[in-house]
Amino acid sequence: MPDQAPTPAHAKAIARYVRVSPQKARLVVDLIRGLKAEAALHLLHFTRKRIATDVAKLLQSAIANATDRGELDVDALFVTQAFVNDGPRQKRIRPAPMGRAYRYQRRSSHIEIHVGERPGAASLSRRVSAPADAAPAPKRKPAGAAAKKKSTAARPRPQAHGKPGKFAKSAPTRAAKPKGGSKNKGGE
């Protein structure tokens, strides 16, 4: 996916070596994939993650790259691709008790966002409207009307008290132990 070059109707922005783990960055980037650019910026503004501000700046940069070209309409931009790749890891050591050391890694990410106009958006709006000479679609009955006509005899009735029902406790399945004890006790 990252090896594909964007088509001419796309613009992209890349942030490299961002100091956040890729797993945490993907949580935010997955939220905006496929959304309209304006809606994605609005969503990022109210997302309560530290990386959301960096992703919002990156999205604004991708939108600016699209407007600089002059080929794309800003109001029709969508987030066509958004992904996070692993960056290099910094290996560190933390002191531990009794002279030992714990190793840990500080992860980094490469975040990439592509914006563009949705392919076939103009033809989609034409397909949605019905032709003038077409017959109107038949009316459907509401779902509530069909549910009311069902017979009440098909419903299971609750069990009377004392009879085992669906939620009644059943008798234990194990056989009761003899009260006399076993013959193989030590010393007897």
How many CB atoms sit inside 10 A of residue 71's CB? Answer: 13
**pLDDT confidence band for 128 (50 / 70 / 90):** very low
> How does pLDDT run across 41-97, given as a tens digit for each residue?
999 999 999 999 999 999 999 999 999 877 788 889 999 999 999 999 999 999 999
Look at residue 128 and give its three-state secondary structure. Answer: helix
Residue-level pLDDT at 125: 40
Residue-level pLDDT at 63: 95
**pLDDT confidence band for 126 (50 / 70 / 90):** very low
**pLDDT confidence band for 137 (50 / 70 / 90):** low
- Give alpha helix (H) positions in the chain: 22-32, 37-45, 51-69, 121-128, 143-148
The closest alpha carbon to 120, from 83, 80, 81, belongs to 80
Which residue in the block uniquely carries the two structure tokens 């501000």? 53
Task: Specify the CATH class of 10-119 in words.
Answer: alpha beta
Name the residue ranges covered by the structural domains of the chain: 10-119
The closest alpha carbon to 105, from 94, 96, 116, belongs to 94
**Given the DSSP bridges, would you call strands 101-106 and 10-18 parallel, antiparallel or unpaired?**
unpaired
Whether pLDDT at 164 is above 90: no
84, 25 in Cβ contact below 8 A?
yes
The pLDDT of 9-35, averaged and rounded, is 95
